[in-house]
């Protein structure tokens, strides 16, 4: 009986769920994020693989003493696919003055040590001392304002070899103007998000510029936007 009951036992049918036409239509509709999202994402220390494209992000690590007008124009006019993001943040003057007071004491100490040893003067130290004192005076008189400026560049290509070629081209253009860039090693994801139009500086690697009425103009197009290295 046990065997016969198993043979002639009726299988239980799964319940049928009714779907309205509107529900079927909504299930097949693509959202905006489904359209713009890449088919795949791979993050490596040096670059990102976004679907069929490869992306690599760089940040500016050093500027010359002065920047002339339209120094960034050769990069913008390149016949390449890339994104550029510029973050500008005003720096608290009181915090800057406290920092510069320590820097002036350090530079003065180095100059005094060289004089005590009978060494010839170091033009680099003298220039640094004069710049710091002039900047301190201008900041106290509200003639100058200091800004943190972060510049990030993301280039795109079909292969890593194409990215290497574009990277060499960009580096040669910028280094001819004494501007140096560096890839965001092990921070490619943060670097890529920093160039997206969401106003999020995840790299947080700014460098200091100062110029009168700096905030009223584009800092990268000023005739003499001056750069000074500082960290707080």
Q: Which long-range contacts (CB under 8 A, 24 or more apart) does 157-161 make?
A: 157/53, 157/54, 157/81, 158/52, 158/53, 158/54, 159/54, 160/47, 160/54
Residue 65: its pLDDT value, please? Answer: 75
**H helices present in the chain, as ranges:** 2-7, 21-27, 32-36, 73-76, 93-116, 123-140, 160-175, 188-195
Residue 142: its pLDDT value, please? Answer: 80
Residue 74 has pLDDT above 80, yes or no: yes
For residue range 178-188, list pLDDT tens digits in order: 999 999 999 99
Bridge partners (DSSP) of residue 42 are: 49
For residue range 13-46, list pLDDT tens digits in order: 555 555 555 665 566 666 777 777 787 889 999 9
List the structure tokens of 202.
Answer: 């995840």
For residue range 155-198, list pLDDT tens digits in order: 999 999 999 999 999 999 999 999 999 999 999 999 999 999 89
Say if CB 220 and CB 71 are below 8 A apart: yes
Reference 146, options 105, 100, 98, 89; nearest CA is 89
Phi, psi of 129 (to 5 degrees): -65, -45
Average pLDDT over residues 65-73: 80
User: For the ranges 14-28, 113-127, 217-231, which has the lowest average pLDDT?
Assistant: 217-231
What is the separation, in whole angstroms, between the first and last Cα of the chain? 87
Say if CB 177 and CB 64 are below 8 A apart: yes
94 pLDDT band (50/70/90 cuts)? confident
For residue range 139-153, list pLDDT tens digits in order: 888 887 888 888 999
The Cα 188–Cα 44 span in angstroms is 7
| Residue with the two structure tokens 């002036």 | 104
List the structure tokens of 107.
Answer: 């530079």
List the structure tokens of 106.
Answer: 């350090």
Residue 17: its pLDDT value, please? Answer: 56
Average pLDDT over residues 76-80: 91
**Better pLDDT: 143 or 220:** 143
The Cα 85–Cα 219 span in angstroms is 13
Reference 220, options 79, 101, 71, 23; nearest CA is 71
């Amino acid at each position: 009986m046990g065997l016969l009951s198993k043979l002639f036992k009726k299988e239980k049918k799964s319940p049928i769920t009714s779907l309205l036409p509107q529900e079927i239509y909504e299930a097949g509709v693509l959202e905006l994020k489904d359209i713009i999202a890449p088919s795949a994402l791979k993050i490596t220390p040096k670059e990102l693989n976004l679907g069929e494209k490869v992306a690599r992000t760089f940040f500016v690590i050093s500027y010359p003493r002065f920047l002339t007008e339209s120094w960034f124009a050769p990069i913008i006019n390149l016949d390449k696919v890339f994104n550029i993001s510029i973050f500008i943040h005003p720096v608290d003057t009181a915090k800057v003055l406290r920092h510069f007071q320590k820097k002036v004491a350090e530079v003065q100490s180095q100059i005094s040590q060289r004089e005590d040893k009978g060494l010839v003067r170091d033009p680099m130290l003298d220039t640094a001392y004069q710049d710091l004192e002039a900047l301190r005076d201008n900041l106290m008189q509200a003639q100058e304002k200091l800004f943190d400026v972060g510049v990030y560049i993301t280039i795109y290509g079909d292969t890593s070899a194409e990215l290497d070629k574009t990277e060499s081209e960009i580096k040669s253009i910028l280094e001819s103007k004494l501007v140096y860039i560096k890839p965001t090693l092990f921070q490619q994801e943060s670097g890529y998000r920093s160039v997206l139009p969401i106003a999020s500086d995840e790299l947080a690697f700014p460098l200091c510029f100062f110029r009168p009425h700096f905030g009223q103009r584009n800092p990268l197009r000023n005739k003499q936007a001056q750069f000074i290295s500082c960290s707080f």
